[in-house]
């Protein structure tokens, strides 16, 4: 099974630029009122709307702590705090905010993972 998480936005062009230029997503499908972006197995759709949906967290996970720190250095201007180790979930992470005010998270797991589907 595959899936896409959709959000409405009043500023689709700005949001698409942010996710492609700053978070490394690639355009996957362009529709009349929606742009669907892809990063690995994560698909995000941003659709024109009369209001912006900014609830939820978009999480990108990377392979190493060093990669999280590299991403932090590129995204420090929109980060909400420094990268930290979260012992409860055994991850290394930081949060940021996209131009719509939606929270994103960059993290790596500090434990072994099951194989990806």
Q: How far is residue 34 from each of residues 14, 85, 98, measured CA to CA in Å?
A: 13, 36, 18
pLDDT score recorded for residue 44: 96
**Sorting pLDDT into bands at 50, 70 and 90, what band is 1?**
low
**Sorting pLDDT into bands at 50, 70 and 90, what band is 25?**
very high
Kindly state the percentage of the chain with pLDDT values over 90: 88
Task: For the chain, give every domain's residue range.
Answer: 5-109
- What is the domain class of 5-109 according to CATH? alpha beta
Q: What is the pTM of this model?
A: 0.86
Q: How far is residue 63 from each of residues 32, 33, 36, 107, 113, measured CA to CA in Å?
A: 35, 34, 24, 9, 11
């Amino acid at each position: 099974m595959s899936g896409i998480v959709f959000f409405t936005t009043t500023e689709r062009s700005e949001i698409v630029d942010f996710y492609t230029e700053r978070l490394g997503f690639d355009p996957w499908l362009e529709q009349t009122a929606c742009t669907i972006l892809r990063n690995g197995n994560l698909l995000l759709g941003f659709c024109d709307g009369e209001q912006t949906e900014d609830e939820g967290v978009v999480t990108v996970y990377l392979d190493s702590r060093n990669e999280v720190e590299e991403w932090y250095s590129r995204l420090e201007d929109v980060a909400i705090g420094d990268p930290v180790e979260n012992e409860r979930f055994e991850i290394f992470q930081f949060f940021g905010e996209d131009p719509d005010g939606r929270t994103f998270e960059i993290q790596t797991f500090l434990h072994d993972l099951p194989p990806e589907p």
